[in-house]
Amino acid sequence: MDGINIDIEQEVNETSPEYYALTELVKETTDAFHREIPGSQVTFDVAWSPACIDKRCYNYTGIADACDFLFVMSYDEQSQIWTDCIAKANAPYLQTLVGYEEYITMGIDPKKLVMGVPWYGYDYVCQNLSKDHICTLFKVPFRGAPCSDAAGSQVPYRAIMKQVNSSLSGVLWDEVQKSPFYEYKDDLGHFHQVWYDDPRSISLKAAYVKNRGLRGIGMWNGNSLDYSREAVAEQQTEAMWQALTP
């Protein structure tokens, strides 16, 4: 065992005892691992932004100081939709980058930040799908927000690749969010819109990691790809891995 990753996503209020207890837990865990297993690492998963996402108001600077590095989960960025209840990218480019700048502005060293990118997407059933690709969602509240990505279901990249070419739209690209998506109709006649990340969108984020001097990049999760011996699958899988290293 060479370390441990801590992923606690419960709500925490800034004025609660848990705010300080969580920081102390991370510090005690890090001290114990470093003492008992020299060279080991203790890491902590944080939301894409420190702005109390999903009511996770953690002591981010204290936790960053207490552990070896933060794994920033730059996905599920539509967990709380406060504006129009429509389908959007899992990890919009500019929104993702804003999150890192917020962490850095707090005083967290870029070398303490690892970018986590999604190797999965969201399949949304559209209440209405307009000709200009606006997919109106059924409202599913989450932690105070009136709408959320809980209206959709998570789909691994390997499944997306098997469906996209036979979809109604084929691959579409949103230039504002810098994300691919596509649309299809199910057997019941319902229209769906699927948002995901691919080598093109991930490469843009990986370039930011390199240029901004972050510690590195990772993904959630490695099992989302197709590791079969099929030629097309091998090419798709290799492209996703290569996208992490600009």
Given a contact cutoff of 8 angstroms between Cβ atoms, the answer to whether 244 and 222 are in contact is no
How do strand 135-136 and strand 128-129 relate by DSSP bridges? antiparallel
CA distance linking residue 12 with residue 180, whole number of Å: 34
Helices and strands in the chain, H and E counts: 6, 12
Token pair of 190, please?
């319902």
What residues contact residue 152 under an 8 Å CB cut-off, 6+ apart? 87, 122, 123, 124, 125, 137
Distance CA(155)–CA(197), nearest Å, equals 11
Please state, in angstroms and as integers, the Cα–Cα distance from residue 31 to each residue in 2, 39, 63, 108, following that order: 14, 12, 13, 20
Look at residues 143, 138, 145, 141 and name the one whose alpha carbon lies nearest to residue 124: 138
SS3 46: strand
Nearest alpha carbon to residue 122 among 96, 142, 94, 92: 92
In the residue annotation, 175 being an active-site residue is answered as: no
Q: Nearest 5°: phi and psi at 221? A: -135, 170
Q: Which residues are catalytic?
A: 9
